[in-house]
Structure 1
Amino acid sequence: MFNRFRIFLLVLLGTVTLWSCSKDLELTPEDNRQTSASAFEDPAAYKQFLAKLYAGFAVSGQDGPAGNPDLTGLDEGFSQYMRLYFMMQELPTEEAVIGWNDGTIKDLHYQNWTSGNEFIRTMYSRIMYQIAQSNEYLRQTTEDVLNARGVEASLQADIQTYRAEARFLRALSYWHALDLYGNPPFVTEDDAPGAFLPEQISSADLFSYIESELLAIEGELKAPMTNQYGRADQAAAWMLLAKLYQNSEKYNGEDHSADVVTYTSKVIDAGFGLVDDYQKLFLADNNSNGAQNEIIFPITYDGINSQSYGGMTFIIHTAVGGDMDPDNFGINGGWAGLRTTSALVNKFLDNEDDAVEEVNDSRAMFFTEGQTKEITDISNFNSGYAITKYKNVDVNGNAGSDPTGDFPDTDFPMFRLGDAYLMYAEAVVRGGGGDTGKAVDYINKLRMRAYGDSSANISSSDLTLDFILDERARELFWEAHRRTDLIRFGMFSDRGIWPYKGGVPQGATTEAFRDLMPIPSSELGVNTNLTQNPGY
């Protein structure tokens, strides 16, 4: 299968090299130059190549965990999609800091990055690479192409579902591009592959394109909870639509709160359910311990078959250090990097001087032994509380499948029902219609799971935007939502202060233009159709 992946990726080279073709970040061509037609001689290849599109979010190349990368120019672990996306969404916020000194990584939390930041550049390239792969898959699976190859009608019917999934994955990456960069270059399967300079698309037009794609495939995807675990279904598309609508004022200046109510309601009514124990969502068996009934769309990991130094390997290992016992996390050692700030910890406390160990909220997953609550030295792992949310152990405490303890089985819950509940409630408060009673009930379901009883339940008078922003942090921290949330609430850059924001211990506001990441300077030098975002 991986040989076919290599053949398939050759088709992409002409398209992608001008998307991300700076000297220090290029695609590495393979020696095997068979045609795309020969790559699809085996009927099973169509599903296998779809699997490669999914795998692009979890691994970094053709050989796990490293050695044959999709992109070169940055350490292969650092260049992995979900590792980069987690960093973009969490490190610039109050939810995460990292003590490492690799390149410009600390600039992400300080919010003083430039257009030359290598992590921002590689995220951009990884997104564009994923889009290019999806485009080529769609070119190779049109009705005319399939008929010319003599593909049987029964397989063609399956391929139509595969195409809808590929369009969903492309829409997901284009949403990431929209949210992070605003107005990226735009290419679809209708553009001929080869060397050309893509035109830049406006945020409003990209919003409309993503919306139209998701609406178009809604009827072609499988019904909720009927597809193979880890693959997109209608509920995944509804959730992405709701995310798009939730942040629409930042994308096109329009309020789509009513659409958020509509599409989160579809998700909520689709048959998903909250798992009984919050911790189960983040364990090595979260694909089978009941959490799979809450997770709408995961990025799946397997300690044997999808090894990578990015994704969950990064998140779990990097969060362990100091006096923490790696055995409790199902790993062979910690990388002593990620912690959190007191600003997140305080969201779980009635008073800032309270001890977090006495909090009854089971979501308060902090390691405090040998750690200080306040960060006095961002490079010192013991400075700042550690997070114990993700583990490579199952519900019985058994470690994952990799006997070396390097690579976890824990899936990343990109979309889940708990988020849909909070999105519905926020849309109601923002005037999108819906039912206030339902909104309160949805939040109380989350809080009853967290506290074990109704002692922390809220009433309609508590349902404010300030409460929802804090509750989203309590429920969803380290799930790659926070940057987008803070921007939507106007609290990311020129408002909102937390430790080391702005590069100072007490925190400081930053310029409003940092709500968008810069277009990498290396890309501007290659594609003359691109214009830099304001402020950079």
Structure 2
Amino acid sequence: MKLYIHKIAIILGLAILAVSCTDLDEETFGSLSPENFYNTEEEALASVAGIYQQLSYVQSIGDPWRIAEFGTDEFIVPGRASGGWFDQSNIDIMRHQVDPANATTGRAWKNIFQEIGTANAVIESLEQSPNSENLTAIIAEAKALRAYGYFYAMDFWGNVPLVTVARIDPNDLPQTTSRSEIFSFIESELLVAAEDMPSVNEVNRSDYYPRFTKESVYSLLAMMYLNAEVYTGTPQWQKAIEMCDKVINSGGYHLSGEVIDNFASNSQTNSPELISAFTNDPISNAGNNQFILYAQNALDQLKYNLPFVPANGYSTYQEALDRYGDNDARKELLEYGPQTYLNGEPLLMDNGEQLVLIPVQDLVSAEDNEGYKVLKYTPVGASFSGSNADNDYVLTRYSDILLTKAEALFRLNNNATEALNLVNEVRNRSNATSLNVLSLDIIEEERAREFIWEGHRRRDMIRFESYFNDTWAFKTTQTEEYRGIYPIPQEQITANPNLTQNPGY
């Protein structure tokens, strides 16, 4: 049975850390306890589904996803001349001017530590169950989900509190743990969890989807090792290769026919490329996808016959569009220039003129036609409940494994030929011209083309140092290196004076 992670409630008899690592308000779910619950795997899974629900918000249009994209050269949300969408906190992130009082990063912190707190409560409850010896795989799954939450916390803020209990003693509030220690904790948790979790080859894929497998864990480890030099000061390219090989050698994944297959509602469940994803079914009140609502131009209601008017918020830069060659199928996922209906007829505005999308000219007061659009989650074939689509959120794809291995191989300089072949495998799927040579710049650009708006770009730009050294529209100066991590929100330090603010802030 397909797991609708948003539909199954957490049924626990203990408090969870619901808002942040320093918010001690208790939130109780039901009256059952570990002693009288978890008699079956299904009962345990009902609780673990709640962790998936929290983690899915990190990859949805919520603030954690936004701060992974704001500040990059592929994501912009300008204020509109009509007065809509203006948010100084977002503009400050786009301009690399974040301070500890930033509301957007503050909400993202709460979202991520809510997921971690939920996981702590579920893990503790599962481990206290009299049936815990039969729940080894599910406990491992819950710990892998918690590790994912800590991965985002480490990536965004570097030095964060490490909490693994469901309740915090108000007389012993946690202190800041170094980024390298958080890295080691996540690595250890994931390696142990992978031992007890099933491989994609050991489950009925369509029934098990979208739960994590060994390969989901290996993919996160590969991503961590690729960024290990940023996180710990020590590169770990060989480990990244080893984790990629575990996924590749499983034989459980290959590239789908087209990139869009991984984001189209009617093909996601059967995509051979999706390693990790989160289900959405708004018609059944089981999650929803609002990318189409927030990203598309209002006139796309007519173009795609939508049951709502898109809000014309999320946009991308000219710099992102310019990366794609004209024969690259991935370019078709961007909307720019003169707009037409699907049948090719001009898409007309109220004044009778054709809608022409242009780059954002004014970050604070943009006109309605300013901002190119990224059709990451296509409305074609999707089902809607109001403005909510049923496209599943994509977390990890096989193409990321191929490009991760390619980059690690190239940086080690021990197999440039294999690295080139891996990059071309991804490019050829989208009809992009094969490359004859590689460079780090080429690899970074290829990742930007393949993973636009998938939450990778900020992390990639920091690793390649373009986050600091490059300039683009509205980011016109170099960025100080300390801004590679966000400041710990001031409200968290106020609530817990044991936390230490990150350097530079």
Q: Which residue does the alignment assign to 1:367?
A: 335
Q: Distance in 1 between matches of 2:7 and 2:281?
A: 20
Contact 2:72 2:458 in 1 (8 A): yes
Q: Which residue does the alignment assign to 2:102?
A: 117
* 1:517 aligned partner, one-letter code: Y
Q: Distance in 2 between matches of 1:277 and 1:226?
A: 26
Aligned 1:447-458 pairs, distance under 5 A: 447-451=427-431, 456-458=433-435
Contact 2:296 2:373 in 1 (8 A): yes
Compared CA separation, residues 479 and 121, structure 1 to 2 (3 A): same
Q: Deviations over 1:455-513 (max 9, x none)?
A: 71112xx21100000011111101110000000001113x1111112xxxxx3223222
Question: Deviation at 1:37?
Answer: 4.0
Question: Deviation at 1:526?
Answer: 1.4
Which piece of structure 1 moves more, 327-336 or 412-421? 327-336
1:380 pairs with one of 364, 367, 377: 367
Contact 1:4 1:45 in 2 (8 A): no
Q: Which residue does the alignment assign to 2:494?
A: 525
Compared CA separation, residues 473 and 209, structure 1 to 2 (3 A): same
Q: Which residue does the alignment assign to 2:15?
A: 11
Q: Which residue does the alignment assign to 2:74?
A: 95
* 2:151 aligned partner, one-letter code: W
Compared CA separation, residues 247 and 41, structure 1 to 2 (3 A): closer
Compared CA separation, residues 141 and 432, structure 1 to 2 (3 A): farther
Describe the SS at the equivalent of 1:339: coil
Q: Distance in 2 between matches of 1:512 and 1:102?
A: 25
Compared CA separation, residues 479 and 5, structure 1 to 2 (3 A): same
Describe the SS at the equivalent of 1:141: helix
Describe the SS at the equivalent of 1:492: helix
Q: Distance in 2 between matches of 1:338 and 1:366?
A: 12
2:129 pairs with one of 134, 146, 159: 146
* 2:488 aligned partner, one-letter code: I
Contact 1:259 1:432 in 2 (8 A): no
2:439 pairs with one of 447, 460, 464: 464
Q: Distance in 1 between matches of 2:201 and 2:256?
A: 15
Q: Distance in 2 between matches of 1:382 and 1:226?
A: 50
Contact 1:329 1:393 in 2 (8 A): no
Contact 1:285 1:409 in 2 (8 A): no
Compared CA separation, residues 329 and 345, structure 1 to 2 (3 A): farther
Could you tell me which runs of 5 or more consecutive residues in structure 1 were left unpaired when the two chains were aligned. 60-78, 350-358, 502-506
* 2:55 aligned partner, one-letter code: F
Describe the SS at the equivalent of 2:424: helix
1:48 partnered with 2:16: no
4+ long deviations beyond 6 Å: 1-4
Contact 2:176 2:499 in 1 (8 A): yes
Q: Distance in 1 between matches of 2:38 and 2:137?
A: 20
Q: What is the TM-score when the length of structure 2 is the normalising length?
A: 0.86
Compared CA separation, residues 302 and 392, structure 1 to 2 (3 A): farther
Compared CA separation, residues 6 and 348, structure 1 to 2 (3 A): closer
Contact 1:18 1:197 in 2 (8 A): no
Contact 2:11 2:47 in 1 (8 A): no
Q: Distance in 1 between matches of 2:164 and 2:142?
A: 12
Q: Which residue does the alignment assign to 1:283?
A: 264
Compared CA separation, residues 27 and 192, structure 1 to 2 (3 A): closer
Compared CA separation, residues 9 and 409, structure 1 to 2 (3 A): farther
* 1:479 aligned partner, one-letter code: E
Q: Which residue does the alignment assign to 2:344?
A: none
Contact 2:119 2:145 in 1 (8 A): yes
Question: Deviation at 1:19?
Answer: 1.7
Compared CA separation, residues 27 and 39, structure 1 to 2 (3 A): farther
Describe the SS at the equivalent of 1:415: strand
Aligned 1:95-494 pairs, distance under 5 A: 95-99=74-78, 100-102=85-87, 104-142=89-127, 145-147=128-130, 151=131, 156-157=133-134, 159-189=135-165, 193-195=168-170, 196-227=172-203, 228-271=208-251, 272-288=253-269, 290-291=270-271, 293-306=272-285, 312-313=289-290, 315-325=291-301, 328=304, 332-349=308-325, 359-364=326-331, 365-368=333-336, 369=338, 370-378=355-363, 379-394=366-381, 399-400=382-383, 402=384, 404-431=385-412, 433=414, 435-451=415-431, 456-459=433-436, 462-493=437-468
Question: Deviation at 1:17?
Answer: 6.0
Compared CA separation, residues 9 and 298, structure 1 to 2 (3 A): farther
